[in-house]
């Protein structure tokens, strides 16, 4: 089998990969804890944010010519005010924060170091710019007794801590989306995780 290949996607190469990145996001985020009922139209529109932001980072992981995973990041200024405001009110200079959007990988390729590489690539890009002090991302908060929580579910908290991230206790923002099987969007709390670069 071929070795996974990593590529920084920009410009026309990124535009060409948008449908596959959209498919991956829908596939991965459909599982617990996100339970996200996505649409290709919305996903491709959302992902165009990374085409429009000059400092955006999109790292694709390929097996031969097939996208099996991807990770995104961009300056915090590219995120909605609802994400920036809680951090600003807590005293963070949001102009000095680099936001990690998502890291998605097909199940068959997890546990092989690809997720670690995604974090390394995004951190390297943030450090190289010299403009950012911290990397930060958000993660959905679901109750321990959520009915859709699989018995063998393993949260990613320890993986993130091993990457050097810590949860910002008592600070959260909110996102809305439609859960799998639901008719309407509901609002979810998202915790912040941060790392000094």
2 — pLDDT class (breaks 50, 70, 90):
confident
Specify the pTM.
0.94
| CB distance 76 to 98 below 8 Å | yes
Q: What is the mean pLDDT of residues 103-119?
A: 96
- Paired tokens of 78: 């590219």
Quick: pLDDT tens for 142-188: 999 999 999 999 999 999 999 999 999 999 999 999 999 999 999 99
Number of structural domains in the chain: 1
pLDDT at 106: 96
Sign of CA dihedral 161, 50, 31, 149: positive
Half-sphere exposure of 196 (CA within 13 A, CB side): 0
Nearest to 126 by CA among 167, 152, 104, 95: 95
Rounded Cα–Cα distance for residues 7 and 26 (Å): 21
Sign of CA dihedral 74, 45, 70, 34: positive
Assign residue 62 the CATH number of its domain.
Answer: 3.40.630.30
1 — pLDDT class (breaks 50, 70, 90):
low
Quick: pLDDT tens for 37-94: 988 888 988 999 999 999 999 999 999 989 999 999 999 999 999 999 999 999 999 9
Residue 163 CB-density burial (10 A; 0-12 exposed, 13-18 middle, 19+ buried):
middle
pLDDT at 84: 97
pLDDT at 44: 85
The β-bridge partners of 70 are 60, 104
> Where in the sequence is the domain holding 16, given as residue range(s)?
5-196
């Amino acid at each position: 089998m071929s070795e996974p290949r990593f590529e920084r996607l920009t410009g026309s190469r990124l535009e060409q990969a948008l449908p596959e990145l959209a498919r991956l996001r829908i596939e991965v985020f459909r599982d617990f804890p996100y339970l996200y009922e996505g649409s290709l139209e919305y996903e491709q529109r959302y992902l165009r944010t990374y085409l429009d932001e000059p400092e955006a980072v999109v790292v694709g992981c390929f097996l031969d010519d097939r996208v099996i995973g991807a990770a995104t990041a961009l300056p915090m200024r590219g995120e909605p005010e609802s994400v920036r405001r809680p951090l600003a009110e807590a005293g963070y200079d949001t102009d000095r924060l680099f936001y990690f959007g998502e890291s998605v990988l097909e199940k068959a390729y997890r546990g092989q170091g690809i997720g670690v590489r995604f974090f390394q690539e995004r951190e390297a890009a943030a450090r190289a710019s010299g403009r950012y002090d911290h990397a930060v991302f958000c993660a959905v908060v679901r109750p321990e007794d959520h009915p859709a929580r699989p018995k063998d579910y393993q949260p990613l908290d320890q993986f993130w801590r091993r990457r050097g991230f810590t949860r910002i206790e008592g600070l959260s923002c909110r996102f809305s989306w439609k859960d799998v099987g639901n008719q309407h969007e509901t609002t979810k709390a998202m915790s912040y995780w941060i790392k000094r670069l």
